Amino acid sequence: EGRLEYYISRMFGSGGRFATSWKVYVGGGYNKEFYEIGDFSDDFTFMRVSFGLSKDFYPLHFLHWGPFVGYGLEMTSWETGEKDEIDTDFIEAGVRVGINLAHNIQLIGSATSYTMISSDYVEGDTGEKEDFEYDVAFNDRFGLGYNIGIRFMF
C-alpha cells in the first residue's frame, strides 16, 4: 500500500496555526487473497485507490498526528472469471500518527475505518451491472484497519 500527500496550506495564506498543515492525498493498494463464497472459491485480486483531505497537528517537535477523510474505489477480479469484476466505492476516515526518525523520515501508524457506499457486479462482455453484496462475500474488507509504515518527505 502506498500514499502520496501534497501540502496545500500555502493556498490559505498565513491565516494562523489552524491554516497550516492541510494536505490532499491519493493512496492505493493491491493484494491477492483466497476466499470461499458459497460453493465458489478462488484467488481474488483487490486493487484499491482513494483520495482525500487531511490535517496534521504537531503537539511536540518530533511527533505529529492528523485526522483524514476520503473517498475510494476498490476493483475486485478473480482467476477463473471471464473479464467480470466487482466495483465498490467507499468512504474512509481515520487518524495517522508519526514520529520523526530523521528530519525527512517518519515512522507512521494509522487506523482507518472503511464504510462501503455501493457495490456492483460488472459483466466483462456486456458491461451490465447488478448490485452485489460485497460486505457479505468479503466481510473482512471493510470496517477498521491498521497500517504501519515509513514516510519519506521531499
CB 96 within 8 A of CB 110: yes
Residue 56 CA: distances (Å) to CA of 9, 93, 95: 11, 14, 10
pLDDT at 25 (0 to 100) = 97
DSSP letters spanning the chain: -EEEEEE-GGGG-S--GGGSSEEEEEEEEEEEEEEEETTEEEEEEEEEEEEEEEE-EEEETTEEEEEEEEEEEEEEEETTSSS-EEEEEEEEEEEEEEEEEETTEEEEEEEEEEEEEEEEEE-TTT--EEE--HHHHTTTSSEEEEEEEEEE--
pLDDT at 14 (0 to 100) = 58
61 Cβ contact partners less than 8 Å away, ≥ 6 residues apart: 100
Split the chain (154 residues) into runs of 10 and give each run's mean pLDDT: 88 64 94 90 94 94 95 92 89 97 94 95 90 90 92 88
pLDDT at 16 (0 to 100) = 55
Place of cell 467507499: 90
Q: What is the pTM of this model?
A: 0.87
